[in-house]
């Protein structure tokens, strides 16, 4: 017999399934219709958002924003991430899941559209005040993140209810592998589109136009195909009183994880919105090479903005290849070491990104140094399924959604000012100082988790 009560043969069969690179997609296709429709909609909106979101800081700078404003934009996004989920649940309670999903989809698509037309909306003088075109990027974000406000807790709860406790990390690895395929395809598709025009503002509008199309397709598909017979998603929302009770009743083992995770995410939040600017402006590094194939030579010449999209593709390719093996490793060594490894990569990446290319320059061309740096960054996602399992694992059956919502509400609220702090340091001190201080904060968080973090019993 094995630890989870099954026979060795059964475990071998399951292990082979979880190790199969295409396993997540086969399990995805076996989902019930409504879950399948929601998953496809999630893929469409994730694709649209990943095509656009990582490039928005460069878009804002091209429209006249400063590094400080970019930092404020990151903090504004943190505010939305913290406050949206609970109102999203309340709206779903009132109008039902199907219509709530349709509303959120329409708002997100409208947000992409606002970003698309932003260059033509300013500068505008109103009462002696000039409204710069980058202001509309803030407005678009309010709308574009609407669909993301729905379903975070429900997704965690569904995985917890459908998965053996000792295999939670593998369950999350399956769903993450499918969802993050959009994270791989989106930036690479954006990079291809950006290569169509030498002016970034124009080429990025091509990307935004495609994102609008994905938003329309996702919204129509989910409204037409989603049956919502039970239509009970969001029914557990009970207002501020419920939030206060959930905070008081948070499982004890989650507290050290929450502290460490919050510090690591605060550190990442200080510099995350500036990654694109490191490539396009700090180093201004593109990619040039010649590829020989079948007797023909092809010259590849990527602008820094297009190169950034491919770097994100490299990052996500490593992530997709590492999540399932890391989840399998967690079944043998526990969740805590795998989560700590992911935290460590989060901590090291900022200083490696801002400093390593200069150190490696005598040995490796800058463009290839960046490829190696972003490949390393992809390893931070290896710990993500184990991290999610460690969040929802200690929750009582039937309360996984509330526990998850409470955890992310508290974490994301504390992280809110991180990007503004990073933007202040970037603009008024130096990018190197901003990234170094961020790494130092992350080291504290990782160390705290290593010392005080608790293992989930099913993996102990």
Q: What is the pLDDT of residue 10?
A: 44
3-state secondary structure 329-373: HHHHHCHHHHHHHHHHHHHHHHHHHHHHHHHHCCCCCHHHHHHHH
Count other Cβ atoms within 10 Å, centred on residue 374. 24
List, for residues 394-407, the tens digit of each pLDDT value: 655 444 456 666 78
Q: What is the pLDDT of residue 439?
A: 96
Q: What is the pLDDT of residue 83?
A: 81
- Check pLDDT > 90 for residue 188: yes
Q: What is the pLDDT of residue 122?
A: 76
Q: What is the pLDDT of residue 123?
A: 83
- Check pLDDT > 60 for residue 20: no
- Check pLDDT > 50 for residue 48: yes
- Check pLDDT > 50 for residue 70: yes
Q: What is the pLDDT of residue 1?
A: 41
Which letter, b or e, does each residue of 330-351 get, where b requires 16 or more Cβ atoms within 10 Å of its Cβ?
bbeebbbbbbbbbbbbbbbbbb
The alpha carbon of residue 52 and the mean position of all alpha carbons in its chain are separated, in whole angstroms, by 13
What radius of gyration do the chain's Cα atoms show?
22
Longest Cα–Cα distance in the chain: 77
Q: What is the pLDDT of residue 307?
A: 97
Share of the chain above pLDDT 70, in %: 73
Regarding beta strands 124-126 and 129-131, do their DSSP bridges make them parallel or antiparallel, or are they unpaired? antiparallel
List, for residues 286-302, the tens digit of each pLDDT value: 999 888 777 777 888 99
C-alpha pair distances (Å), 270 with each of 138, 411, 441: 18, 15, 10
Confidence of residue 359 (pLDDT cuts 50, 70, 90): confident
Confidence of residue 330 (pLDDT cuts 50, 70, 90): confident
Give the residue ranges of DSSP H helices in 118-271: 135-144, 152-162, 168-194, 200-225, 240-248, 254-271
Higher pLDDT pick, 174 / 158: 174
Interacting residues of 412 by C-beta distance below 8 A, sequence separation 6+: 78, 81, 82
Once rounded to an integer, what is the mean pLDDT over residues 216-233?
72
Distance CA 27, CA 24 (A): 5
**Among 27, 141, 20, residue whose Cα is nearest residue 80:** 141
Q: Which of 192-206, 226-240, 317-331, 397-411 has the lowest mean pLDDT?
A: 226-240
Q: Are 76 and 139 in contact (CB under 8 A)?
A: no
Q: Are 184 and 46 in contact (CB under 8 A)?
A: no
Q: Which domains does the chain have, with CATH numbers?
A: 8-228+237-459 (1.20.1250.20)
Confidence of residue 141 (pLDDT cuts 50, 70, 90): very high
Q: What are the strands, taking DSSP E only, across 232-328?
A: 287-293, 296-302
Higher pLDDT pick, 335 / 33: 335
End-to-end CA, the chain: 17
Once rounded to an integer, what is the mean pLDDT over residues 40-57?
89
Residue 444 C-beta-side C-alpha neighbours within 13 Å: 12
- Check pLDDT > 70 for residue 369: yes
Confidence of residue 444 (pLDDT cuts 50, 70, 90): very high
- Check pLDDT > 80 for residue 36: no
Once rounded to an integer, what is the mean pLDDT over residues 372-378?
95
- Check pLDDT > 50 for residue 6: no
DSSP 8-class letter at 396: P
Angle of helix 168-194 versus helix 33-52 axis, rounded to 10: 40
Q: What is the pLDDT of residue 124?
A: 85
Q: What is the pLDDT of residue 22?
A: 52
Q: What is the pLDDT of residue 169?
A: 55
Interacting residues of 398 by C-beta distance below 8 A, sequence separation 6+: 157, 161
Count other Cβ atoms within 10 Å, centred on residue 138. 17
- Check pLDDT > 70 for residue 151: no
Residue 154 C-beta-side C-alpha neighbours within 13 Å: 20
Average pLDDT, the chain: 81
């Amino acid at each position: 017999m094995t630890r989870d009560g099954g026979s060795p043969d059964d475990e071998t069969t399951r292990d082979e399934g979880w190790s199969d690179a295409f396993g997540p997609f086969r399990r995805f296709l076996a989902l019930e219709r409504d879950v399948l429709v929601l998953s496809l909609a999630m893929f469409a909106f994730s694709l649209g958002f990943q095509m656009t979101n990582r490039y928005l800081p460069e878009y804002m700078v091209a429209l006249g924003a400063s590094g400080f404003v970019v930092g404020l934009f990151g903090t504004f996004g943190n505010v939305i991430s913290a406050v949206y989920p609970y109102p999203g649940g309340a709206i779903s309670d009132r109008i039902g899941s199907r219509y709530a999903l349709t509303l959120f989809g329409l708002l997100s698509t409208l947000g992409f559209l606002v970003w698309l037309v932003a260059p033509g909306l300013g500068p505008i003088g109103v009462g002696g005040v000039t409204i710069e075109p980058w202001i509309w990027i803030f407005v678009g974000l309010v709308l574009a993140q609407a669909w993301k406000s729905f379903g975070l807790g429900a997704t965690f709860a569904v995985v917890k209810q459908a998965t053996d406790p000792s295999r939670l990390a593998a369950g999350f690895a399956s769903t993450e592998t499918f969802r993050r395929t959009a994270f791989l395809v989106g930036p690479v598709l954006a990079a291809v589109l950006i290569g169509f025009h030498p002016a970034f503002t124009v080429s990025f509008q091509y990307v935004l136009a495609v994102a609008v199309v994905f938003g329309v397709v996702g919204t129509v598909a989910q409204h037409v195909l989603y049956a919502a017979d039970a239509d009970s998603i969001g029914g557990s929302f009970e207002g501020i009183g419920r939030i206060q009770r959930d905070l008081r009743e948070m499982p004890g083992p989650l507290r050290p994880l929450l502290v460490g995770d919050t510090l690591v995410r605060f550190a990442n939040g200080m510099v995350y919105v500036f990654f694109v600017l490191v490539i396009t402006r700090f180093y201004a590094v593109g990619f040039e090479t010649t590829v020989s194939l079948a007797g023909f030579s092809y010259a590849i010449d990527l602008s820094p903005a297009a190169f950034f999209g491919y770097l994100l593709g490299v990052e996500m390719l490593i992530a997709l290849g590492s999540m399932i093996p890391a989840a399998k490793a967690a079944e043998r060594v526990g969740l805590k070491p795998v989560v700590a490894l992911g935290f460590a990569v989060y901590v090291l990446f900022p200083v490696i990104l801002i400093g390593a290319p200069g150190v490696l320059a005598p040995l490796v061309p800058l463009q290839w140094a960046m490829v190696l740096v972003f490949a390393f960054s992809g390893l931070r996602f290896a710990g993500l399924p184990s991290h999610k399992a460690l969040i929802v694992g200690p929750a009582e059956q039937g309360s996984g959604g509330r526990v998850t919502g409470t955890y992310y509400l508290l974490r994301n609220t504390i992280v809110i000012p991180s990007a503004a702090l990073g933007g202040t340091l970037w603009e008024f001190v130096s990018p190197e100082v901003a990234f170094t201080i961020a790494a130092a904060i992350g080291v504290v968080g990782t160390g705290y988790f290593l010392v005080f973090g608790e293992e989930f019993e099913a993996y102990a």
